[in-house]
Amino acid sequence: MHTYIHAMEIASCYLEGNADAVEFCPHDPFLHIFAAATYTLHEKGESESHRAGTISLFSCSPLSTDSGDDASDTGLQLLHREETPGIFDIKWSPAGEGSGSACQPLLALADADGFLSIRELQADVANGNKGISLKEICNEKVSSSMCLYVDWRQSGDSLSVSLSDGSVSLISFTESELKVSQSWVAHKFEAWTTNFDIFNPHLLYSGSDDCCFCCWDTRQNPSLPVFRNSKSHTMGVCCISQSTSNPNMLLTGSYDESLRVWDIRSSSKPLTEKSICLGGGVWRIKPHPYISDIVIAACMHNGFSVVKVGGEREEVLVLERYEKHGSLAYGVDWMKGENARNDSIVASCSFYDRLLRVWKPQCLGKS
């Protein structure tokens, strides 16, 4: 196994709170913009606490295409920041054919007060990065429990939210209005993740602290289980991710430190094809937007790993580890767009040290 450890550093800064989520905007012409979220618990005595957060927008854009100096090509600029309740997860509305996306990009926020809110990116394209901000267009109290994860259906007309009481909720989104359409108890403990199937949008996956990895048919109300796997993960299931190019491949990450690759051709009984131990709880997995068999994983106590998940007969390999964060590796994402197609760029954040970094993996070279 070849592991490269000398990623190219681009920029870094500290956030206002404990950093837990990073998401690049997938909408042109805002591909250089990413959002970063924080969640900070403030204790107010033995019986009272306050969960505070922030949402920030940054620009990570090439300053000169002719400089020839990769390290100085890209700058990091804070565009917008506002205080919020503690945020566990954020997601931009889907882009591309069939997304039904609005004129402006939308950002969904799942917070510790049990609310899901939608913010619209406000921008004057003619003025570049000037005047860019987020405007709340709606919010909905989903539960008295904490909202831990949010995902958009590819059509952009509904979202899923997983909750700290083990429930999963489906929320419709029409004409700037959110409405809970159904909710059910999916797990015994915290439901850390819930994800729509990209290719079969009526299917919804969920993972939980109860070690279960499940699939649900949302055409029924309440949704019916397609499968419930309780034997493969030895600790809680933290994240689920789907290959954007292979409808038969699904990835799961767990506190048991393993990234697992699943064959889901049999939707009622998925098969574990292969797995790899990444040396830390696998909190997030993000597929590369242009290289079909590459993902990046946030591995909590063991930094970030660029992983080749390969084809049917290929083993799973760690190509590069990034260890410049001094705390829990939580948030990570790839930049999209033509600049990223030519040169892979990653934004990552870590929790207790509140650190945000932008960097280029060296194992991929020119995409």
Q: Which three-class secondary structure state does DSSP give residue 82?
A: strand
The 10s digit of each residue's pLDDT in 145-167 is 999 999 999 999 999 999 999 99
The 10s digit of each residue's pLDDT in 247-268 is 999 999 999 999 999 999 987 8
Is the confidence at residue 63, as pLDDT, over 70?
no
Sheet containing 147-152: order of strands: 147-152, 158-163, 167-174, 177-185
Q: In angstroms, rounded to a whole number, what is the distance separating the alpha carbons of residues 30 and 50?
A: 33
Mean pLDDT (whole number) for 24-30: 95
The pLDDT, as a whole number, for residue 69 is 37
The pLDDT, as a whole number, for residue 113 is 97
16 closest CA partner among 107, 112, 86, 115: 86
Mean pLDDT in the chain?
90
Is the confidence at residue 170, as pLDDT, over 90?
yes
Q: Return the DSSP state at 306.
A: E
Yes or no: say if 338 and 29 are a contact pair by the CB < 8 Å rule: no
What values do phi and psi take at 341, rounded to 5?
Answer: -65, -35
The pLDDT, as a whole number, for residue 146 is 98
H-helix segments, the chain: 338-342
Please give, one letter per residue, the 3-state secondary structure of 317-341. Answer: EEEEEECCCCCCEEEEEECCCHHHH
Q: Assign 97 a pLDDT band (cuts: 50, 70, 90).
A: low
The pLDDT, as a whole number, for residue 128 is 67
- pTM (2 d.p.): 0.92
The pLDDT, as a whole number, for residue 68 is 37
Higher pLDDT, 292 or 66: 292
The two tokens of residue 347 are 């934004």
The residues near 326 (Cβ < 8 Å, ≥ 6 apart) are 350, 353, 355
The 10s digit of each residue's pLDDT in 180-231 is 999 999 999 999 999 999 999 999 999 999 999 999 999 998 889 999 999 9
26 closest CA partner among 94, 86, 97: 94
Torsion of CA 142, 158, 186, 275, to 10 degrees: -130
Q: Which three-class secondary structure state does DSSP give residue 155?
A: coil
305 closest CA partner among 346, 265, 357, 342: 346
Own/partner contacts of 342-347, CB < 8 Å, gap of 24 or more, are: 342/366, 342/367, 343/70, 343/367, 344/288, 344/291, 345/10, 345/60, 345/74, 346/296, 346/304, 346/322, 347/22, 347/24, 347/34, 347/36, 347/58, 347/60
The pLDDT, as a whole number, for residue 101 is 53
Mean pLDDT (whole number) for 14-31: 96
Mean pLDDT (whole number) for 47-57: 90
- Give the range among 69-73, 84-88, 113-117 with minimum mean pLDDT: 69-73
Mean pLDDT (whole number) for 134-143: 97
The pLDDT, as a whole number, for residue 102 is 54
The 10s digit of each residue's pLDDT in 302-355 is 999 999 998 667 889 999 999 999 999 999 999 998 777 778 999 999 999 999
Q: Which three-class secondary structure state does DSSP give residue 72?
A: helix
